[in-house]
Amino acid sequence: MSDGLSFNGMDEFIADIKDVANTFPMESEKRLKRIGNKFKSIVQKKSPDSGKSSKRKLNKSWRTKVTGYKGEDLACEIWSTSPHFHLVDRGHVQKDKKGNVKGFVQGKHFLEATSLEVEKEILPDELEKFQKEIVKKLEKG
C-alpha cells in the first residue's frame, strides 16, 4: 500500500543497503524486518484510540511483511487492516443522511509523524549496527 510518503535520507540508505543486501541477503532481511517491527510498534503507540472496543481497533490493526528474495527486491511492507485508517490519518468530511457536507474532521497525521521519527532516530542506529555486523562477518570470512 503506497501512501506517497518519502524519506529524505532514504535514497542513500537504499543505495547502500542494495549493495550489501546482494552480498548478505539473510542479514539484510533480518535488519529490514527489525526496522519494520520498530516502525510498527511506534505507529501502534501513535495511533489514536477511540476508547471503544471494536473488532478493528486501529492500534491493533498494523501488520508487517518482508517481501523479495534478492537484495534489490527486499522490501518491508507495513499496512493497516483497519478500513478507516486513512480517514483518521488524513481527515475526512462529515455528511448528513442526505449527503450534505456538515463539516471536516482534521486528520491526525500519525503515520507521517512515525515515519519522520523512524528516519531520524531508528535508521541511523540500525544502519550503524548493520555496518558493524557486516564488517565483523567480513573479518571472519
What are the backbone dihedrals phi and psi of residue 4, each rounded to the nearest 5 degrees, phi first? Answer: 85, 15
Q: What is the residue-wise DSSP string for 79-108?
A: EE--TTHHHHHHEEEEE-TT--EEEEEEP-
Are 87 and 108 in contact by the 8 Å Cβ rule? The answer is: no
Please name which of 59, 69, 70, 76 lies closest in space to residue 122, comparing C-alpha atoms.
Answer: 76
Q: What is the residue-wise DSSP string for 22-67?
A: HH-HHHHHHHHHHHHHHHHHHHHHHS---SS--TT-GGG-EEEEEE
pLDDT score for 35: 93
Tens of pLDDT, residues 23-61: 777 888 888 999 999 999 999 999 998 788 888 889 999
Domain boundaries, the chain: 10-140
pTM recorded for the entire structure: 0.77
Tens of pLDDT, residues 61-91: 999 999 987 777 889 999 999 999 999 999 9
pLDDT score for 108: 93
